[in-house]
Structure 1
Amino acid sequence: MEYLLQVKIGALVGLLLLTLFFGFIPARVKWFRLTNGTETHRTVLSLISCFAGGVFLAACLLDIIPDYLSDINAELDARKVATSFPLPEFIMAAGFFIVLILEKIVLNCREMGGTQDERTRLIHDGTNGHSHGHETHPDMEDSGHHVHVDFQAHSPFRSFMLFLSLSLHSVFEGLAIGLQNTNSKVLEICIAILVHKSIIVFSLSVKLVQSAVRPLWVAAYIGVFAMMSPLGIAIGISVMEAQLEAGVLIQSILEGLAAGTFIYITFLEILPHELNSPGKQLLKVLFILLGFSVMAALTFLD
């Protein structure tokens, strides 16, 4: 077995186990079952999310997008495809809009199927904007606190829709690992996904616990969610190992879709919400810079 494949399989197993670990913490530790949590708890979640935002920003701008553009342009040149239309950028935009449309469909189904009290939007406008359904309670926003989940909404239906929406993203995140062709890139992107997914699965688990979902279903949700990124890795590995005639082109297109997903996560999910929510603004910027610097250092050393 090639060393690169071993690294990818190791990343697959590592993501699976660590996601399960972080996901089951709220379900097993009583402190996380508090209805409103604590200020320290909320602050830690916010700063970790800022660090993850910096990591994803660097992964996007310094690794995934440059590699994708290089690969797709080389493949288009090899196939003698000449066009004035910005096809590589269009593919990235397609990945962006695929995830956006799927998420909006999920949220629309939730609004149509929920009760009147449940039809408050999970994604707010203005200073409260944040995707993936990680909502903040108005009272918490006014008091300067930020959380990834609404601790006041105890609805198993809404929790399932949140789980489904997050799972769709995780598959595309895993693709970014499975499609890489160097060991260092696999490790760098794995770190980016791990930091982000740890806080997301932690928040999802808190949401499930607060929604009074049965313990067996909590375990099922967390287990399936933990397998989504490994599934994306497996799909990426299959594409590369199959060595199809059009395999390089397929790989490049999937890289573009994954890049669009990273753009969505970074610029519409993490950074706007964290920077627009009140409280500890300079500290948040510091953690964003810290996350970016860690990834930039790894890229420089490579």
Structure 2
Amino acid sequence: MDYLLQVKIGALLGLLLLTLFFGFIPARMRWFRETSGTEAHQMVLSFISCFAGGVFLAACLLDIIPDYLTDINAELAARRVDTSFPLPEFIMAAGFFTVLIVERIVLNCKHDAQQGSDQERSPLMQGNGHGHGHGRSADLEGSAHHVHVDLQAHSSFRSFMLFLSLSLHSVFEGLAIGLQTTDSKVMEICIAIVVHKSIIVFSLSVKLVQSTVPPIWVAAYVGVFAMMSPMGIALGIGVTEAQLTSGILIQAILEGLAAGTFVYITFMEILPHELNSPENQLLKVFFILLGFSVMAGLTFLG
């Protein structure tokens, strides 16, 4: 076994263990799972969640999207695909709309099921004339109730999509390590990914703990997510050893779909969830900016 392969295997094990360590801090500590604590406890949890939101915003705008655009444009240039149509952005939009459509279908099915059960419990005779106004207000109250229940039940779905998009990106990060040909470059990229991924997995674990995902599934998500970068390193080692060059375009397309998914989760779930309550708005914005700034600083340092 040559020295370069030993360095890559060491990077694989290091990434796996450190990701598990930082991911299980929120997952295993009761302090993060406590939902009936004091007002100060709830406020601190909210600020930590806002910090995680800023981390995901920076990961979206400064890491995932730029990486994808670089890879897809390089591949299109290598294949001499010259078109005025914004194909890279279209692929990303496809990922965005895929999550949107799937989520709306699930939400609509849940809404119809809830509505059907309410109709079974409602009286057979309802006023259609002078009682119409009252019926409309009742419908509005009922629809508001349905939306609240569905959104609450749906947070686990969005948590899964957040996990899926980050996992795909982690595979591509690991692939970048596995494809390197010098040990110094392997160590350089590995250190950057360790710092970056430690913050990401901590933030992901916070989000999972605060959603409706059961604790056993939080542990499973963190465990699977921790294996994604090592899996990418292993794939990169295999590609290097076999000297394969095919499949780069498929990888770039998958990156685009994952980027579109992450855009949806960031701007439709994470940030609105943090900013939808009127309490401590300025402090919440500050912690979102703080999380963004930490990731931006790490990106600037390379």
Length-normalised TM-score, structure 2: 0.70
Structure showing greater Rg: 2
Matched with 1:79 is 79
CA RMSD of aligned residues (A): 3.3
Letter aligned with residue 200 of structure 1:
K
Matched, 1:226 2:222: yes
1:30–1:22 Cα change, 3 Å: closer
Cα deviation, residue 188, structure 1: 5.0
Q: Could you give the per-residue CA deviations for residues 258-287 of structure 1, whole angstroms, max 9, x where no partner exists?
A: 222332232222222323420112111211
Matched, 1:172 2:162: no
Cα deviation, residue 46, structure 1: 1.7
Whether the aligned pair in 2 keeps the contact of 1:59 and 1:295 (CA below 8 Å) is yes
DSSP 3-state at the match of 1:101: helix
Work out the CA distance in 2 between the residues paired with 1:236 and 1:196: 21
Cα deviation, residue 15, structure 1: 3.3
Whether the aligned pair in 2 keeps the contact of 1:12 and 1:229 (CA below 8 Å) is no
Matched, 1:55 2:55: yes
Work out the CA distance in 2 between the residues paired with 1:267 and 1:123: 21
Matched, 1:198 2:192: no
Letter aligned with residue 166 of structure 2:
E
Letter aligned with residue 14 of structure 2:
G
1:4–1:248 Cα change, 3 Å: farther
Work out the CA distance in 1 between the residues paired with 2:276 and 2:32: 30
Q: Could you give the per-residue CA deviations for residues 175-222 of structure 1, whole angstroms, max 9, x where no partner exists?
A: 212202233552354144224212212213xx46xxxxxxxxx55333
Higher helix content, 1 or 2: 2
Work out the CA distance in 1 between the residues paired with 2:106 and 2:18: 29
1:232–1:121 Cα change, 3 Å: farther
Letter aligned with residue 121 of structure 1:
V
Matched with 2:18 is 14
Matched with 2:265 is 265
- Which of 178, 188, 194 in structure 2 is aligned with 1:187? 194
Identity %: 46
Cα deviation, residue 79, structure 1: 0.9
Matched with 2:280 is 280
Work out the CA distance in 2 between the residues paired with 1:50 and 1:249: 36
Work out the CA distance in 2 between the residues paired with 1:5 and 1:267: 36
Matched with 1:149 is none
Matched with 2:179 is none
Length-normalised TM-score, structure 1: 0.70
Work out the CA distance in 1 between the residues paired with 2:75 and 2:166: 23
How many residues are aligned here?
254
Cα deviation, residue 20, structure 1: 3.9
Matched with 2:34 is 32
Whether the aligned pair in 2 keeps the contact of 1:19 and 1:201 (CA below 8 Å) is no
